[in-house]
Structure 1
Amino acid sequence: MTTTARPPAGLRDFYENPAVPVASGDARSRRQARMLATALRGRAGATVLDVGCGDGTAAAVTARLLPGHRIIGVDWSQDALRRAAPRIGTVVRGELEGGALPFATGAADAVLFAEVIEHLVDPDGALDELRRVLAPGGHLMLSTPNLAAWYNRALLLAGVQPVFSEVSLRGIHGRPGSEVVGHLRLYTARALRQFLAASGFEVVRLAGAPFHGVPRALRPLDRLACAVPGAASILLVHARRAR
Structure 2
Amino acid sequence: MTTTAPLHRGLRDFYEDPAVPVASGTARSLRQARMLAAALGPAANGTRTVLDIGCGDGTAAATAAPLLGGHRIVGVDWSQDALGRARTRLPYTVRGELTDGGLPFRTGAADAVLFSEVVEHLVDPDSALDEIRRVLRPGGHLMLSTPNLAAWYNRALLLAGVQPVFSEVSLRAIHGRPGREVVGHLRLATARALREFVAAAGFEIVALKGAPFHGVPRPLRPLDRLACAVPSAASILLLHARRT
> TM-score, with normalisation over the residues of structure 1?
0.97
Cα offset, 1:41, TM superposition: 1.0
Given that 2:53 and 2:76 are in contact with CA atoms closer than 8 Å, whether structure 1 keeps it comes out as yes
Q: For residue 36 of structure 1, report the CA deviation from its aligned partner.
A: 0.3
- Structure 2 counterpart of 1:167, from 166, 169, 187: 169
Q: Which residue does 2:51 correspond to in 1?
A: 49
Matched, 1:27 2:27: yes
- After superposition, residues 1-243 of structure 1 pair within 5 angstroms as 6-42=6-42, 43-242=45-244
Whole-Å Cα distance in 1 between the matches of residues 95 and 126 of structure 2?
21
Contact 1:6 1:97 in 2 (8 A): no
Distance in 2 (alpha carbons) for counterparts of 1:133 and 1:40: 17
SS in 1 for 2:41: coil
Q: Following TM superposition, by how much is the alpha carbon of 1:44 offset from its aligned partner in structure 2, in angstroms?
A: 2.1
**4+ residue runs over 6 A deviation:** none
Q: Deviations over 1:96-154 (max 9, x none)?
A: 01111000000000000000000000000000000000000000000000000000000
Paired residue type of 1:130: I
Q: Give the deviation of 1:63 after TM superposition.
A: 1.0
Instruction: Name the SS for the 2:155 alignment partner.
Output: helix
The answer to whether the 8 A contact 1:169-1:182 is kept is: yes
One-letter amino acid of the counterpart of residue 65, structure 1: L
Give the count of matched residue pairs.
239
Q: Deviations over 1:184-206 (max 9, x none)?
A: 00000000000011000011000
Q: TM-score, normalised by structure 2?
A: 0.97
Deviations 1:143-169 (A, max 9, x none): 000000000000000000000000000
Q: Secondary structure of 1:68's match? A: coil
For the aligned residues, what is the CA RMSD?
A: 0.8
Structure 2 unaligned spans of 5+: none
2:36 partner letter:
L
Percent identical across equivalent pairs? 79
